[in-house]
Structure 1
């Protein structure tokens, strides 16, 4: 029989009151965890059993008087009742009753149609009807939700598997393997039901720098994550530092993500919190107080309190990337990575093995010693930089094509003989011999060629007479004590192909928003042609996309009134075809999301594009296609980019944003690169 233990007195108490009364010696951290669970997810519990499933085990271990399972279940049921009461009467105040009220007694009085709780009368029958309606309504909502695209919370996950010998495992566990080379043979990587790699091999020699390349969505980032998480077997003594594509913009303090990678600091802070909780709870022992003093001394020694308080959400994409690099390179502490040029020089001196995913061909030419090409669910290695890869790959393709043609002609020659003498009795033996020879020949596979990427920006609009867009003597600041621009004067027209460069934080994105009219100058004038129609691509374009819907639905919601075929055709123009168009946007790769953003941006047919770091996640083939599309486009273009290849292919003007102004560099990118090199030399970085 379950013990009532006067639980009735808690009918109007909060779950916090019940917890404190029934478990007076509960550990502080356990108490905070349980109340956190009930506070944040209380409305989601269906009954007392779900509360028991969530916290029953913790309560069992916190019971000083050894409550049995039934007692714990009763307590969980009561806490569930208080949660339901609180949710049902959000404005009412909960109070502790002076006299106990036995639940068993109330439930036994079967003829009652209502129960009085304090000053609130609840009709039991009406309550049942209301609950039934609520469940019916919730069921309809769940049915509607199930018909929508899958939420990112239940997206497919990546997985990896590999064949490994017992000998390799024993050597690794014994600690005798001191080699820093990595060789992973015969492994598979998948994302949900999609196979990304099959029977692949990866060899990384210590000290060499590898560039991992391949089309968007083929699994480059997933492969890095499988290595970083050791889902693929990497010798235990090898440390892996994983730099992600981008640090998410959130409320984490600037450099907190860097400091969190310092395991010594984080371990001390965690131990400090635990000891303080035990002291506050009165359960600390004498030596623990001494240990706390040692921790404080160590934290002071390493200056653990020096972290800045700027939030990562306030950083531009370039600075978020710097935080990501800083996390991986800690405690080397060369955190001030001001430009790709600095990073190129720095990584050339890096002593450990590097595996980098990059779509910047100039960066790859400057940094890597080897290229690993991911295509057709396999990895192919090439010695040398990217340019050498391109040449070697072309040579391989030519050789494969010649081999294919030779095999095809040989087969045709045999087949002609067979067809000619198939019914000639005198040649029957020879025909049979040729047939057997044909069967033994290896399967003839046509040459695998990657599909060409094409992008097109529609330009069915009238010419606009200049001036099309200009800023005249513009002054702008977010706070008066930090003036970002003073007397900024720039102009662009439909012939413009302008690239804006400069250090992160110099105001490039702000200047673009001033040009678009999203920000209003403090002083000065913005002028725009009355028929100007601007298309904008944000460096944080993912923030502009609804990740919970598929690409077709995204365009439908943004531009209603067209048929599905039109949306699919628009997406197809940017490489989002077939099942890609019906998958949740959240499940797409970074490059594929960029293509969806292009499709969304160009749908209204703008006559002027302002692009903020459009190449961040694009593969090299798509960057080339973007350059061609911009060159064919008949409207104006202003773009912020650090991709040297795109700048050289597209831009006719180079603007440098620095020191509160924008200056035109007559010598183009070559002159700007020389300026940067000289700056780094003066600052001692080179």
Structure 2
């Protein structure tokens, strides 16, 4: 196992960890979280022996192989499939031995090399690489392309695929979902769940962590605090700690009441559609961790629009093509005031191209986009931070806006986005990606738009800023169009989904989970079509093997269905109990000093009940997914 004992590390003169402790057991999957700049990536570099240990002990088993995503591609004159396949270094070594033996006509060496290849099941490695590439959104035609032919974002995917090919005992993943679309993120979740090695994951994507990890390592005040369970469990445990530490001070009580009233208002307006119910559930989770929300250093809001024309935008028979590909074909859409649109579709399907048509950066080749009078768009593009002037300060950026604020007004406004007085005057050249993204968001908020279009806004944002953005959009009364690989943000904000696929943009009649299940099935079907068998296996033997597998699989479904019914009854009981605890906590007298004991007992019972309910919900979802997967495999 990997052990950190009283570990201290620095970045230059800045101390990052001081006497920190953590243990990672074989097969354990842990999310490493903390605000930007606390030392998460530096800790990875320390584990990889790229940053020295200042004091303490870092213990790694001698026989452990540690895998990670390489920072730079060594050479670009290699095709994608070979690059990913050679991520399996053992296979790469044996394959090179085969090539050398063949070129030298050394039959003895060739026999030994093929024997070694068989021992490591080398014949399966290229197929495994193909499955990874399919899952991450690549097509057959991409396999033979040189790395130099791929854009930066797709090269990031190739480096991730190469890392996943490694026969690692411990896999280090730093923000693996960046540059992925939400469909590829869903596939990666499934892949990591079945991965047998240990994994340490740096991520600000709470839903991704919920699906993958069994523990959270939180870097805070130069220490590492370990919490068992997924990210939702961490938030509940952290919330309970803060509630007890702060004794429900006025800020927390005010935040809790604000969240409750907001959620009730939304419920009153929400339809029974699955999308609306997804938003209700996401907001209720915010209510459960109100104390954590209250500790967020960032709190901002989009200003109320002066006008809200309806409809805001009408798209008629829109067509657009690049020289080698038709992207949009006869698209007809209407955007109404107050719409909350989640734009979904795999990378390359045309989501960003559609957004550029809507904001006027690209002109339709035929058809038209009719923007109603009074529409004011706040547009956050994928590469928004590149449009900032890195030599200027945040305040200079503010003073360059329309309706120029005074110097003090600009500082006060930037303060809401976490910029101190000193930072307001600094050149942003030295700012982190997250700080630059926050500034870009601040400039959009200041424009007072009535339509917000966000294209992957979270790539550089830490969890606290994502939460603040989530809350700000929840309370925004204008329309929103959102593209993001952050499933939590997408589910909590969107009331409807526009699906971009095969040149069309259609309304998806279902919720986000349903959409992702369909995409995963499509990926799995494509992978099944391209599976290979062991050399020498006949079609008859393969059919017999499949028949036996189907029979075994069908027998698995029944017990899972029985367990589902039992879980559903238990969930009903817990939901009733939880409603009772929430009712008790609405009693103001419970927060009097004389009732401290009752409050603590109520909090413990409420936390325990929430944890039990969460565990059952997770098990229920696991069973549902398992049954669907079994049915898919057996074609029943």
Structure 2-normalised TM-score?
Answer: 0.59
Per the alignment, residue 241 of structure 1 pairs with 67
Per the alignment, residue 478 of structure 1 pairs with 322
2:301 to 440, 450, 456: 456
Per the alignment, residue 185 of structure 1 pairs with 5
1:468 to 309, 312, 317: 312
Distance 1:264 1:647 in 2: 40
Distance 1:251 1:681 in 2: 29
Instruction: For residue 251 of structure 1, report the CA deviation from its aligned partner.
Output: 9.2
Q: Pairwise mapping of residues 177-326 of structure 1 onto structure 2 (< 5 A)?
A: 181-231=1-51, 232=53, 233=58, 235=60, 237-243=63-69, 255=80, 308-309=145-146, 311=148, 314=151, 317=153, 319-326=154-161
Instruction: For residue 641 of structure 1, report the CA deviation from its aligned partner.
Output: 1.7
1:374 has 2:211 as partner: no
Secondary structure, in 3 states, of the residue corresponding to 1:488? strand
Q: Pairwise mapping of residues 569-588 of structure 1 onto structure 2 (< 5 A)?
A: 569-588=412-431
Instruction: For residue 510 of structure 1, report the CA deviation from its aligned partner.
Output: 0.8
Q: Is the 8 A contact 1:247 1:321 kept in 2?
A: no
Distance 1:383 1:217, change over 3 A: same
Instruction: For residue 351 of structure 1, report the CA deviation from its aligned partner.
Output: 1.6
Distance 1:515 1:539, change over 3 A: same
Distance 1:503 1:610 in 2: 18
Q: Is the 8 A contact 1:475 1:522 kept in 2?
A: yes
Q: Pairwise mapping of residues 37-116 of structure 1 onto structure 2 (< 5 A)?
A: none
Distance 1:457 1:311, change over 3 A: farther
Q: Which moved more, 1:190-199 or 1:492-501?
A: 190-199
Unaligned runs of 5+ in 1: 1-180, 271-288, 405-446
Per the alignment, residue 27 of structure 1 pairs with none
Per the alignment, residue 390 of structure 1 pairs with 235
Q: Is the 8 A contact 2:307 2:374 kept in 1?
A: no
Distance 1:554 1:372 in 2: 37
Q: Pairwise mapping of residues 474-553 of structure 1 onto structure 2 (< 5 A)?
A: 474-479=318-323, 481-553=324-396
Distance 1:229 1:565 in 2: 47
1:606 has 2:449 as partner: yes
Unaligned runs of 5+ in 2: 97-102, 115-122, 127-141, 169-175, 250-291, 529-628, 630-636
Per the alignment, residue 618 of structure 1 pairs with 461
Instruction: For residue 372 of structure 1, report the CA deviation from its aligned partner.
Output: 0.6
Distance 2:229 2:90 in 1: 39
- Give 1 or 2: higher helix fraction: 2
Instruction: For residue 662 of structure 1, report the CA deviation from its aligned partner.
Output: 1.1
Q: Deviations over 1:533-569 (max 9, x none)?
A: 2221122333223445543344456779655434333
Distance 1:190 1:468, change over 3 A: same
Distance 2:300 2:387 in 1: 21
Distance 1:346 1:597, change over 3 A: same
Distance 2:200 2:166 in 1: 20
Q: How many residues align?
A: 438
1:330 has 2:165 as partner: yes
Per the alignment, residue 94 of structure 1 pairs with none
Distance 1:403 1:452, change over 3 A: closer
Q: Is the 8 A contact 1:252 1:312 kept in 2?
A: no
Q: Is the 8 A contact 2:482 2:490 kept in 1?
A: no
Larger Rg over CA atoms: 1
Q: Is the 8 A contact 1:494 1:637 kept in 2?
A: no
Distance 1:265 1:549 in 2: 50
Q: Deviations over 1:481-508 (max 9, x none)?
A: 5211111112213311111011111111
Distance 1:472 1:622 in 2: 36
Instruction: For residue 381 of structure 1, report the CA deviation from its aligned partner.
Output: 0.2
Q: Deviations over 1:102-126 (max 9, x none)?
A: xxxxxxxxxxxxxxxxxxxxxxxxx
Q: Is the 8 A contact 1:217 1:592 kept in 2?
A: no
2:190 to 345, 355, 377: 345
Distance 1:311 1:530, change over 3 A: farther
Q: Is the 8 A contact 1:253 1:312 kept in 2?
A: no
1:664 to 501, 504, 507: 507
Distance 1:327 1:541, change over 3 A: farther
Distance 1:597 1:652 in 2: 25
Structure 1-normalised TM-score?
Answer: 0.55
Instruction: For residue 230 of structure 1, report the CA deviation from its aligned partner.
Output: 3.7
Q: Deviations over 1:395-431 (max 9, x none)?
A: 3334545799xxxxxxxxxxxxxxxxxxxxxxxxxxx
Q: Is the 8 A contact 1:576 1:595 kept in 2?
A: no
Q: Is the 8 A contact 2:21 2:224 kept in 1?
A: yes
Instruction: For residue 574 of structure 1, report the CA deviation from its aligned partner.
Output: 1.7
Secondary structure, in 3 states, of the residue corresponding to 1:238? coil
Per the alignment, residue 120 of structure 2 pairs with none
Q: Deviations over 1:452-497 (max 9, x none)?
A: 4312122342232x33222211111111x52111111122133111
Q: Which moved more, 1:336-345 or 1:210-219?
A: 336-345
Q: Which moved more, 1:481-490 or 1:572-581?
A: 572-581
Secondary structure, in 3 states, of the residue corresponding to 2:5? strand
The higher relative CO (CA closer than 8 Å, separation ≥ 6) is in: 2
Q: Is the 8 A contact 1:499 1:653 kept in 2?
A: yes
Instruction: For residue 619 of structure 1, report the CA deviation from its aligned partner.
Output: 2.9
Q: Deviations over 1:194-228 (max 9, x none)?
A: 33322222321121000012223333233333333
Secondary structure, in 3 states, of the residue corresponding to 1:526? strand
Distance 2:244 2:301 in 1: 33
Instruction: For residue 260 of structure 1, report the CA deviation from its aligned partner.
Output: 8.6
Q: Is the 8 A contact 2:305 2:478 kept in 1?
A: no
